[in-house]
A and B are shown apart, each in its own frame.
Chain A
Amino acid sequence: MHEISLVRNIFRTIEEQFPESAPETITCIYLRAGELSNVQPILMQNAFEAVVQDDPRYKRAKLEVEITPILVYCETCKKTSEVKQYKFVCACGLPTKNVIQGDELLITKVEFLN
């Protein structure tokens, strides 16, 4: 995975969203990554540290990565099931591609210094 460019993308996204805030005041960034997004927390942390070395404005910030399971919604039985071992099948046995969670890559929260 392109973790380095992903971390740069996180910084760029935050700077666009909070143009009035100095990156130096950020204490924690919460990332939510679906299991299908190919993001591995340990690799993200390593990339985060590497990018912060080049861009010390973020040296106060921590990164919290939450991995969410893949959920599919079955139109036939109207139920939500969790996808295990990447087998896209409803609990009722019908295959389904209707992903309602698990392919997202989102910043869910940014904490700033008080």
Chain B
Amino acid sequence: MIPLKPKSNRAPVGNIPCDNTTLNLLKANDFVAKAIRDRLPDMLVVNVCSSPGSGKTTLMQETGKRLAGKLNMAVLVGDPETERDAIRMRDVGINALQIVTGGMCHIEAQMILQALDHIDLNHVDLLFIENVGNLVCPAAFDLGEDYRVTVLASTEGDDKPKKYPRMFHTSELLLVSKSDLLPYVPFSVEAVTKDARDVNPDIEVMTISSIKGDGLDAWCDWLLEKVNQKKQSKLTTQKAY
């Protein structure tokens, strides 16, 4: 029989300031995010966030077509209820797995870690996480990604950076999508760039149209460059040992 471990923690009485052991509510998530990074040392992981209806799934489809033959890509698709988006991607030959969040408004790192066991990641160079359509909640959850990309459709209005500061603050790249509609909507790329840089001085901004193809080459070049950088940084660390 295993003897019970004596318990030394006395039940606290009165005021217990946690100042010395401040309880970080995102600690568990951050811990799992680190495990994901450790597990994927030479695969580029990109967390794609947006409001609903920004055209993320279409962007993933077009990106997959353009990068075919250049690198191997896989997509984890977060959706509160349905598997529709992953089916749309598999229809065009993209290796995709749905993460049904069960009504939850964001993906947590634990869901990604579990999903890694259910998708074939052999020879995959680039793993996209298509987050749940929401610019608030996903901003707080590190998913072990290397880059966070926010997609903002020209039809949504250019006042989003100040409304959802954390998302823009934590993104490395802003993709203004549906640029083919820019002549018809009151959306200023210049104004959104200025506001996004108020919130995040380092953010890059690109304009794309998945329908017309404008800007997709620049976006794919950006991805290829980051994939190569990730692989090289792994090589450098290996050399250092």
Q: Do A and B come from one complex?
A: yes
- Whether A67 is near chain B, meaning CB under 8 Å from some CB there, is no
CB distance from A87 to the nearest CB of B (A): 4
B14 and A112 contacting across the interface, CB-CB below 8 Å: yes
- Whether B7 is near chain A, meaning CB under 8 Å from some CB there, is yes
Q: B-facing mask of A1-12, CB < 8 A → 1, else 0?
A: 110011001100
A107 and B165 contacting across the interface, CB-CB below 8 Å: no
Within 8 A of B (CB), among A11-43: 13-14, 17-21, 25, 36-38
Q: Contacts A2-B104, A19-B9, A112-B13; is A14 near B23 (CB within 8 Å)?
A: yes
A38 and B139 contacting across the interface, CB-CB below 8 Å: yes
CB distance from B152 to the nearest CB of A (A): 16
- Whether A114 is near chain B, meaning CB under 8 Å from some CB there, is yes
CB distance from B107 to the nearest CB of A (A): 11
B202 partner, pick from A5, A85, A97, A103, beta carbons under 8 A: A97
A88 and B199 contacting across the interface, CB-CB below 8 Å: yes
A97 partner, pick from B17, B21, B105, B169, beta carbons under 8 A: B169
CB distance from B31 to the nearest CB of A (A): 13
Inter-chain contacts of B9 with A (CB < 8 A) = 18-20
- Whether B157 is near chain A, meaning CB under 8 Å from some CB there, is no
- Whether B15 is near chain A, meaning CB under 8 Å from some CB there, is yes
B18 and A36 contacting across the interface, CB-CB below 8 Å: no
Q: Contacts A17-B18, A97-B200; is A86 near B162 (CB within 8 Å)?
A: yes
CB distance from B9 to the nearest CB of A (A): 5
- Whether A47 is near chain B, meaning CB under 8 Å from some CB there, is no
Chain A residue with Cβ nearest B203: A97
B162 partner, pick from A85, A107, A111, beta carbons under 8 A: A85
Inter-chain contacts of A17 with B (CB < 8 A) = 18, 21, 23
- Whether B2 is near chain A, meaning CB under 8 Å from some CB there, is no
Inter-chain contacts of A66 with B (CB < 8 A) = none
Sample of 10 A–B contacts (CB below 8 Å): A9-B25, A20-B7, A36-B165, A85-B198, A87-B198, A87-B199, A95-B197, A97-B201, A106-B22, A107-B18
Across chains A and B, which 3 residue pairs bring their CB atoms closest together, nearest first? A95-B201, A107-B23, A86-B165
Give me the interface of A with B, judged by CB distance under 8 Å: 1-2, 5-6, 9-10, 13-14, 17-21, 25, 36-38, 85-89, 95-97, 103-114
Give me the interface of B with A, judged by CB distance under 8 Å: 7, 9-19, 21-27, 104-106, 136-137, 139-140, 161-162, 165-166, 169, 197-202
